[in-house]
Amino acid sequence: MKLQNAIEQANLAVVPYMMAGDGGLDQLEKQMQLLSDAGATAIELGIPFSDPVADGPVIQKAGARALADNISLEQILDVLTMSKIEIPLVVMSYFNPIYHLGVEKFIELAKKTPIKGLIIPDLPYEHRDFILPHLENTDIALIPLISLTSPKERMKMIAKQAQGFIYAVTVNGTTGERAVFGDKIDENLIYLKTISSVPVLAGFGISNLEHVARFSAVCDGVIVGSKVVQLLHEGKHAELSKFINEASKTR
């Protein structure tokens, strides 16, 4: 199923983030199946990188654990070619690992997997042509991120070209659990909904059902990262499954 279709068909799209290789590549399929069985709409799959500038401490540590096991992007893609996951996967990778592997090789491998979306947080909108032409004739969407500080004209420009969904960043800073969010994010999300032809999902800092309920009122879904990564690392699978299941029924 295409990514946008999966999100649009969900009651509330819940996209858990996990770090590929944290716990070993032999656990990757089991971890993804756990999230899928719990009711995830799609899964955002992080690629370990040595300089993860957008990531908070929990996700940084997960990436470091994977790197300590010498896990690479190519190894992850090779495992994903054998995946039986039926929901879409969205790869979140910094540009360096993709460039190191080779953009064309990366896309060719990705086409053989359940990957339906691609997020590259350090690739500016103005440089999207490093990737976009290679995605022609595939069903892989290049997902844009829009920050709190983006002016409305830039939001319009990015939204006009958006594929799959818009990743609306809810905080100024890195990923990680937050106690509170600024009021401006609600205004941003409502505005993005009026100008976007694709779903709008909120991400960064969302870690409990109260956060999910808040954002469900103003957008199409949520992305949950640090909480998912920590619970997977601690082996708290029942707690994680319950959270995703309840989050998906919030609206």
Catalytic residues: 44, 55
Task: Give 99's contacts (C-beta < 8 A, 6+ positions apart).
Answer: none
Say how many C-beta atoms besides its own lie within 10 A of residue 27's C-beta: 13
Q: What is the distance between the alpha carbons of residues 248 and 136, in angstroms, rounded to a whole number?
A: 32
Which structure tokens are listed for 17? 């983030």
79, containing H or E segment:
helix 73-80
CB 155 within 8 A of CB 143: no
Question: Cα 214 from chain centroid?
Answer: 19
Q: What is the distance between the alpha carbons of residues 239 and 1, in angstroms, rounded to a whole number?
A: 28
Which residue is associated with the tokens 């999902």?
201
For residue 200, list its beta bridge partners: 166
Which structure tokens are listed for 48? 């370990």
Q: What is the distance between the alpha carbons of residues 89 and 219, in angstroms, rounded to a whole number?
A: 20
